[in-house]
Amino acid sequence: MFKYFPILMAGIIFMEFTACSSPAVPFSNSFNKDSLSLLVSDSALMDALVEDAYEKILPPLYYNASSTDDRTDNIYFDGPNPVVIEKFDSTYTSEWDQMDKIRQCDEVERVIGKNSSIGAASRVYWKAELLFLKSMVYYYLAQRFGGLIIDSSATTGNCFYPEQKRSSLSETYSYIITSLQRCTVQLPDVAATGRASKTAALAMLMRVALQAAAYVPENRGRYLDVLQRSAVAILGNGKYVLDTSYSNLFNDFDKGLNSREIVLGVFKRRFNTTFQNTLMQDLVVNQSNEKMRPGYGPPLADRFDGSSKRYPSQNLVDAYLVIDDDHQARRWNETSQYRLYRQGLAYASAVLYNNRDKRFYASIVYDSSHYFNSLILTRDSGNLCTSGRKDGNLISPTGYYVRKSLYENRKLWYLDGSDHHLPVLRLGEVYLNYAEALLLSGKAKEAILLMNVTRTIHGGLPPIDTNIPLSLAWDIYKNERRVEMFFENDRYWSLLRWAKFSAQTSIPELEKPIDAINISANGKTFNIAVIERSGNRERRFSTQRFLLPLPQQVANTNK
Amino acid sequence: MRIKDKISLALLVIAITSCSNSRPGSRIDKMVRAYARKPEDSLKLEAALFLKEQLNQQCSERSFFYNEETGKTVAVNLDTVNGDTGLLDLLLNRKLSVHHERLPDREIMSDTLLATHIDAYGFYIKTWPWNRKADKQTLLNYLLAYKVYDEEPQGWRTYFFREEQDFLKKVLASYRLNLGRYDKNPMTIASQLMSMAGNWYTYDDASTGGMAFEMMKCQRKGDCYLGAHIGVYVLRSFGIPAALDYVPIWGSKNGGHVEVAALDSNGKISAIPGHELAHAAKVFRMSFIPVNLWRDSIKPLMGRDTFLLSNVVHDHSLDVTAVHTNAADIEVILPEKTDKKIAYICVYNYGKWQPVYWGRIADSNRACFRQMGKDVLYYAALPDKDGFRLTGSPFLLDTSGRKIMFIPDKKKATGMTLSKLNTGSGSWVKKGRSYVLYCMNSTGSWQRLSDLACIRDSILTVENMPSKGLYRLVEKGGKGQLERPFGYHANKQIWW
């Protein structure tokens, strides 16, 4: 036994001196040498600069822009809304002046160009991302104001002056399309959440090409061809699929983040975002039991501290179809249930809101529905009806609130942090853009097959018969696009585009006053009437809206 | 089994256990030895030596769950618990209670956590230019420090470092590439990080008290005390030395407050713009390193009296009043000689005088209180067994640092228009309610001057009151706690 003692001692001493004796052995912490050298490498820092460019460009231009629905018959906006009454004044200065974003992209590109330690693949990738972002800025401007000075950052310092240097709209769109086509080659197939991929470039290309096809008719065929080839590329690779739950796309951050439908989105993290910096601030009502007018109810289970300004119109609600007893989709006032309804005898909410398109429930808060933890009534004497506050401040004039893009799992308080997201490009739009291109080419049957995808999967509606005439297919398509893309910065541009395609000089949807629903206190009678509030009857449209005039003060400054 | 095999097995066991992290703090000596061997690890050595010293003298409050029926400890992964409602459900459903015990840090600090702090320290010093201006003590006490006071050391540094990574890279890129996007002043960065810290949790008035980080992460809700802990963690994780500064009692209003202070461009810990603790009677800073003021300097002077300032007794508080607000020393001549060695200085809080600080008594009747906030009412007091006894008269330390006594002038009567009970937004006098106006007399008691009925919201007029007094307007039928003392000058209530 003793003969083994020296071996044992030697072993113990060896173990004591070798086992984990060096702290150089990496611990599982974020501060070990390897993690840190990756974190602060030139490559990581360049990537951070590119990421920063996304944050400077996408939220203001494509996240906040969901409010372009304010200009349409989708939303009643309770506040100054000069576009709808065509008061073109200094309001547009903020939309016009986007040069800081172009300059930021250029600066990052220069920094990347100077740094020789970065590999060629990363360099190409980042440059493509910056080009993609610049294209997003240029499209934002061209969509509103028309032709641009494309090389503005190198020459004039702005995109519009001197006017003689402005490219034509055709040249501008061609430039943007060519840039995005380059991106489709240089961007990676798959990108991190919130960053551009090949598919994002293709989807954006489709959006731009469709708008360009309307505004530059001489190139329509070419643009529609670009669009269709892009659509085939996206749908052919199968990387993206439609979410079976429409509400998951918009009403839950984590589900949005993991969605296989969202191609590119703005994902704001709670660490950097307060409620007041999200779209939710202007959607959530300001009402509580303490603020409620006596006799109104029922009592709320929540205290709502938002500052709602945007309310879905009755016009929009009408667009969400109802599945009738014969399993056909109809407008609510064409259903068998409605034909049997007699005012004063039965609850209106059933005939108004039962069996609707699933997107209705994901998008709209209505009388007798749940909102956060409360049962809400928008009818007369209801807890969220227009005159429901005892201080006299009016709340929803339409009888509805926006649910789409609202997270109802946490109370909104403007200073509290919150995640939020909004898809910028998603597969649903890809299907619809493709369908529109096919309708423009007279291919109704193929178009219907595509619009049936969003209609059945997101809407839960029966598919449309593929044998209907083209004109009817167009009508159904426009309605489908309206409900699918509500509050996603789409309808205003679609209405302008459709008017351009059909050479209309008026757009009734932009001129007609917005309607509200009024339901009696007992919930058994209702009527639909124009909202009698400032500006609603002054809505107008003239052809100068197709491309907005530059703000006069900007023009004066640059003379 | 043959002896040879047994020896092999024994060696294997030794090898496995010596590599395990299960023996907390076991490797600090080995770390010190290893870092000492490599000159390039000098910062790590510095950090390890400091932590070794602190592990041996610091204790923390550890919470654990136990089953009320069996009395056995139960492991709970708080990452799987959804907020305070989820926690409550868990406690009720599984019949669990939370128990706290105080343990030496050397017994609870894991080696992985130690290594994280040591590695992070080296990174911060090398990466951020502002840390080169700070002295070593500041860096160790407010950057390397693995906790604020006595909360259980947990993984906040890694957690927030990950949360902050995008911002960190942007700041670093701007510095390295001279893009000028971020100010080099750490205060500017600290301000941005404080906004992020504010977003991370939801403010809730209900006091949460001290808690370890895993519990904070589970609840993400709390008052300023919790918020300041989060702020300190967020700043230190990023690499900015930061401290928790607190006002136990304002003196100029009811209650107290907790804030975060951070390294400034001169290498000192200062108030972050927008986070100052101005107009406080006393501001303390939580020092990670024990200051031992109580143990070494106060305890020997107390005799049989209890020292009432609990925040001084724990020996981690530094006086930083002058960092946040205008301050001056106060000397009070006591009305009678005393054998007490220390005196308290009190401020008015929730309807009564409360000690906020202490001072030595010299010559049996001269009490000196260092660095007291200006424009605050004070009242000296002496220790009295388990309590205190007010002595002399209350006075105002005015903005020039002079002591102003209140001597009501009954000969010179004045009318007053009063509107509020204190400085709060909900403290307006209300129509239909009744109030009593008091004035402080020469013995320091509130003397009833007049009963008043309010007939118009926000306005209460009263005539023929003694001028130059210290007044207090109290609502009848109320608790009498919220009403603050005031003076009356130029037709306005002046609040103290």
B35 touches chain A (CB under 8 A): yes
pLDDT value at residue B488 = 93
pLDDT at B20: 40
Shortest distance between the Cα of B132 and any Cα of chain A, in A, equals 19
pLDDT band at B206 (very low <50, low <70, confident <90, very high): confident
Side chain identity, residue B419: S
Q: Does B116 touch chain A (CB under 8 A)?
A: yes
Closest chain A residue to B177, measured at CA: A111
B7–A7 CB contact, under 8 Å: yes
- Interchain contact B10–A (C-beta under 8 A): yes
Cα nearest neighbour of A34 on chain B: B119
User: Residue B93 has what DSSP assignment?
Assistant: H
- Report the pLDDT value the prediction gives residue B444, as an integer from 0 to 100: 87
User: What is the rounded distance in angstroms from the CA atom of residue B262 to the CA atom of residue B193?
Assistant: 11
Per-residue pLDDT, averaged over B92-109, amounts to: 91
Cross-chain CB nearest to B202 (options A15, A107, A416): A416
Q: Is residue B399 a contact partner of residue B432, using CB atoms and an 8 Å limit?
A: no
Residue B235 pLDDT > 60: yes
Average pLDDT over residues B222-250: 97
Q: Which residues of B touch A46 (CB under 8 A)?
A: 173
Whether the CB-CB separation of B118 and B125 falls below 8 Å is answered with no
B11 pLDDT more than 50: no
Please say whether the beta carbons of B385 and B341 come within 8 A: no
For B345-354, write each residue's pLDDT tens digit: 999 999 999 9
CB contact under 8 A, B34 and A29: no
Is B111 within 8 Å of A27 when comparing Cβ atoms? Answer: yes
pLDDT computed for residue B83 by the predictor: 79
Q: What is the ipTM of this complex?
A: 0.85
Strands B202-203 and B221-222: parallel
Residue of B nearest to A26 (CA): B115
Instruction: Decide if A272 touches B, using CB distance below 8 A.
Output: yes
Query: Nearest Cα to A138, choosing from A128, A126, A150?
Result: A150
Helix (H) or strand (E) holding A50: helix A42-58
DSSP 8-state secondary structure symbol assigned to residue A463: P
Residues of A in contact with B168 (CB under 8 A): 39
Helices of type H across A404-546 = 427-440, 444-457, 470-484, 491-501, 508-511
Does A36 contact chain B (CB < 8 Å)?
yes
The pLDDT mean for chain B works out to: 91
In one letter, which amino acid is A312?
P
Per-residue pLDDT of chain A (559 residues), as tens digits, is: 445 555 544 544 444 444 444 444 444 578 888 888 888 899 999 999 999 999 999 999 999 987 899 999 999 999 888 889 988 765 566 788 899 999 999 999 999 998 888 888 999 999 999 999 999 999 999 999 999 988 766 667 788 888 888 899 999 999 999 999 999 999 999 898 799 999 999 999 999 999 999 999 999 999 999 999 999 999 999 999 999 999 999 999 999 999 999 999 999 999 999 999 999 999 999 999 999 999 999 999 999 999 999 999 999 999 999 999 999 999 999 999 999 999 999 999 999 999 999 999 999 999 999 999 999 999 999 999 999 999 988 899 999 999 999 999 999 999 999 999 999 999 999 999 999 999 999 999 999 999 999 999 999 999 999 999 999 999 999 999 999 999 999 999 999 999 999 999 999 999 999 999 999 999 999 999 999 988 899 999 999 899 988 777 666 666 6
B243: region left, alpha or beta (phi > 0 left; psi from -120 to 50 alpha): beta
Q: What are the residue boundaries of the structural domains of chain A, listed by start?
A: 271-413
| Residue B128 near chain A (CB below 8 Å) | no
Q: Which of A8, A27, A36 sits opposite B112 (nearest CB)?
A: A27
Q: Kindly state whether B9 is in contact with chain A, defined as any CB-CB distance less than 8 angstroms.
A: no
**Per-residue pLDDT at B442 exceeds 90:** no
**Alpha-carbon span B131 to B144, nearest angstrom:** 12
Lowest mean pLDDT among A99-103, A196-200, B18-22, B328-332: B18-22
Cβ distance of B202 and A16 shorter than 8 Å:
no
Q: Return d(Cα A309, Cα A312) in angstroms, integer.
A: 10
- Residue of B4, B119, B128, B176 to mutate when probing chain A, most A C-beta within 10 A: B119
Q: Mean pLDDT over residues B164-188, rounded?
A: 93
Q: Label residue B13 by pLDDT band (50, 70, 90).
A: very low
Taking only the tens place, the pLDDT of each residue in B261-310 is 999 999 999 999 999 999 999 999 999 999 999 999 999 999 999 999 99
> What is the spatial distance between Cα A220 and Cα A202, in angstroms, rounded to a whole number?
18
Residue written as tokens 């990080």?
A: B193
User: Structural domain boundaries of chain B?
Assistant: 28-277, 293-405, 409-495
- The CATH code of domain B293-405 reads 2.60.40
Distance of CA A221 to the CA centre of its chain: 28
Query: How far does A151 lie from chain B, in Å, by closest CA?
Result: 23
Domains B293-405 and B409-495 share a fold: yes
Q: pLDDT band for position B460 (50/70/90)?
A: very high
Minimal Cα–Cα distance from B166 to chain A, Å? 7
Place of tokens 């018959």: A73
Could you tell me the pLDDT band of residue B17, with boundaries at 50, 70 and 90? very low
Between chains, do B203 and A52 touch, taking CB under 8 Å as contact?
no
Q: Is the overall model pTM greater than 0.90, yes or no?
A: no
**pLDDT score of B103:** 95
Q: What is the DSSP letter of A375?
A: E
pLDDT given for residue A24 in this prediction:
40
Of A33, A111, A270, Cβ closest to residue B200:
A270
* Contact across the interface for B170 and A52, Cβ inside 8 Å: yes
Whether residue A28 and residue B162 make contact (CB cut-off 8 A), yes or no, is no
* Alpha-carbon gap: A302 to the closest alpha carbon of chain B (Å): 16
C-alpha closest to that of B232 among B115, B317, B144, B168: B144
pLDDT of res. B55: 95
CA trace torsion B226, B231, B236, B239 (10° rounding) = 170
Q: Residues B303, B309, B313, B319: is their CA dihedral positive or negative?
A: negative
**Position B311, amino acid:** N
Closest by CA to B198, choosing from B162, B222, B214, B166, is: B222
CA distance linking residue A258 with residue A270, whole number of Å: 17
* Residue among B53, B228, B61 at smallest CA distance from B150: B61
What is the residue type of B229? Answer: H
d(CA B207, CA B227): 11
Residue B335 phi/psi, 5-degree rounding, is: -65, -25
Nearest CB to A29 within list B3, B158, B196: B158
B443: three-class secondary structure by DSSP: coil
Chain A residue with CA closest to B237: the answer is: A31
Mean pLDDT of B233-243: 98
Q: Taking Cα atoms as reference points, which of A198, A226, A201, A199 lies closest to residue A212?
A: A226
Give the model's pLDDT for residue A164: 82
Q: Percent of chain B, pLDDT > 90?
A: 79
CA separation for the pair A305, A326 (Å, rounded): 43
DSSP state of B231: H
Question: Of B18, B166, B203, which has the smallest distance from its Cβ to A20's Cβ?
Answer: B18
* B265 shares contact with chain A (CB less than 8 Å): no
Do the Cβ atoms of B172 and A21 come within 8 Å? Answer: no
Crossing angle of helices A470-484 and A491-501, rounded to 10°: 160
Query: Does the pLDDT of residue B493 top 90, yes or no?
Result: yes
CATH class of the domain comprising B409-495: mainly beta
Verify whether the Cβ–Cβ distance A31 to B161 is below 8 Å.
yes
The answer to whether the CB atoms of B176 and A12 lie below 8 A apart is no
